[in-house]
Amino acid sequence: MRRRCISRPLIKLRSGGAFISRGHWHGSRRRTPEGHASENLGVRGSAPSSTRAQRVSGQLQFPSLPTLKRAREGKWETLRSARRDRPRQARVVTRRIGVDEISFRKRHRYLTVVADHDTGDVVWVAEGKTSNVLKGFFESLSAEVCNAIEIVTMDMSQAYQKAVRETLPNATIAFDHFHVAKLANEALNEVRRELVRQARKSDPELAKEIKGMRWPTLYSFESVPAKHFDSLAALRPEAPLGRAYLLKEQLLEVLRHQRRRIAENLEAWTSWASRSRLAPFVRLGRTIREHARGICAFVQKRVTNARAEGINNKIRLLSHRAYGFHSAAPLIATVYLCCGGIRLPQQLHLL
């Protein structure tokens, strides 16, 4: 008996309604008396291969009935009309949105994704990650909607910042603390690697010891495991690695707790970093000083870009289940279908 992998929902259209079996599995293909394809769910291996994939795929929404009929015919180009099947009120953007990019093919091919923080739905998707791409979305909105947007979360992309500043007069840009923490850990790791290269010339044992500090220095002093406690306790503030670790921990402490005097604390930290005589942290201090306004906005508003990052995980799952896409158009249509807030009509029944 021939076996195949189903990577999209199975659709059975009847006069009394449509029946959709959600998810994907491995099973045997057979024909029903009505002439529609179905799956034998009783065979071994019918469960999804990944618990995480099953959980994420269960959160994906299904398209409307007209779009399902077009999708069943295999005409991917007709899926672009999925936006027209959505309710008109879904096009309205609320006051908080998140912007992020995701790579969908090799050679630096990206999509720009705009998500609604309040509903969790994808509002807009387009190919590219330049300022003109995002500006095209804002220009498609009315002036009233643009003036109503208050917060835009993103990474430290200069292109996205330029688009927001030129088109959204009342919006505040907030940088996710994850990206700031990532920059701090990268600066610490760069200091450690430079110390290893210097120590190898004179003391190989010391170089091996410094190299082993990679994982202990990733922990904060409050959450360090017992096996790494002695290694962190041996660090000295006057040593370059100890000074780099203190700089990283102090920056994360500012982002976690110090909300009232965040501007003053960030300025004090950047001054310390500029005097640290550690080149990676000197560069990090300049970066944080340039983006201090967006970092302060995150600390005060506590709005992260986790919503957009989570949608990116769903997009990767959709691309994986389809075994990739040759162009951006079918992927964008699939994102609108599954993550754009489309709901099933009452006459549809899920098996």
Q: Are residues 137 and 157 in the same domain?
A: yes
Q: Are residues 187 and 171 in the same domain?
A: no
- The verdict on residue 144 lying in a domain is yes
Distance between CA 254 and CA 260 in Å, rounded? 10
Q: Are residues 72 and 113 in the same domain?
A: no
Q: Are residues 285 and 197 in the same domain?
A: yes
pLDDT at 340: 84
Cβ-proximal residues to 339 (8 Å cutoff; 6+ apart), any chain: 60, 61, 121, 122, 311, 314, 315
SS3 annotation, 49-111: CCHHHHHHHHHCCCCCHHHHHHHHCCCHHHHHHHHHHCCHHHHCCCCEEEEEEEEEECCCEEE
Q: Are residues 185 and 74 in the same domain?
A: no
pLDDT at 38: 37
pLDDT at 344: 59
pLDDT at 250: 92
Distance between CA 187 and CA 282 in Å, rounded? 9
Q: Which residues constitute the domain of residue 128?
A: 90-175+305-310
- The verdict on residue 280 lying in a domain is yes
Q: Are residues 228 and 293 in the same domain?
A: yes
Give how far Cα 281 sits from Cα of 161, 200, 247, 284, Å: 23, 23, 8, 5
Name the percent of the chain lying above pLDDT 90: 35
Q: 22: pLDDT confidence band, cut at 50, 70 and 90?
A: very low
- The verdict on residue 339 lying in a domain is no
DSSP H/E element including 4: strand 3-5
pLDDT, tens digit (0-9, with 9 covering 90-100), for 25-47:
333 344 444 444 333 333 333 34
pLDDT at 57: 44
pLDDT at 347: 53
Name the percent of the chain lying above pLDDT 70: 70
- The verdict on residue 333 lying in a domain is no
pLDDT at 306: 87
pLDDT at 66: 57
pLDDT, tens digit (0-9, with 9 covering 90-100), for 91-122:
456 789 999 999 988 878 899 999 999 888 89
Torsional sign, CA 233, 239, 245, 249: positive
pLDDT at 8: 42
- The verdict on residue 338 lying in a domain is no
- The verdict on residue 331 lying in a domain is no
- The verdict on residue 49 lying in a domain is yes
Q: Are residues 67 and 119 in the same domain?
A: no
Q: Are residues 296 and 208 in the same domain?
A: yes
- Is pTM beyond 0.75? Reply is no
DSSP state of 130: S
Q: Are residues 155 and 204 in the same domain?
A: no
pLDDT, tens digit (0-9, with 9 covering 90-100), for 303-345:
888 888 889 899 999 888 888 888 888 899 889 888 887 765 6
- The verdict on residue 149 lying in a domain is yes
pLDDT, tens digit (0-9, with 9 covering 90-100), for 257-274:
767 788 888 999 999 999
Instruction: Give me the residue label for tokens 């807009």.
Output: 124
pLDDT at 226 over 80: yes
Distance between CA 122 and CA 113 in Å, rounded? 7
Q: 64: pLDDT confidence band, cut at 50, 70 and 90?
A: low
Whether 112 and 129 have beta carbons less than 8 Å apart is answered as: yes
More confident residue, 123 or 89: 123
Distance between CA 318 and CA 351 in Å, rounded? 21
Distance between CA 60 and CA 44 in Å, rounded? 25
Rounded to the nearest integer, the mean pLDDT of the chain is 76
Q: Are residues 183 and 242 in the same domain?
A: yes
CATH code (residue 129): 3.30.420.10
Q: Are residues 101 and 151 in the same domain?
A: yes
Q: Are residues 188 and 295 in the same domain?
A: yes
> How many domains, the chain?
3
Distance between CA 258 and CA 298 in Å, rounded? 12
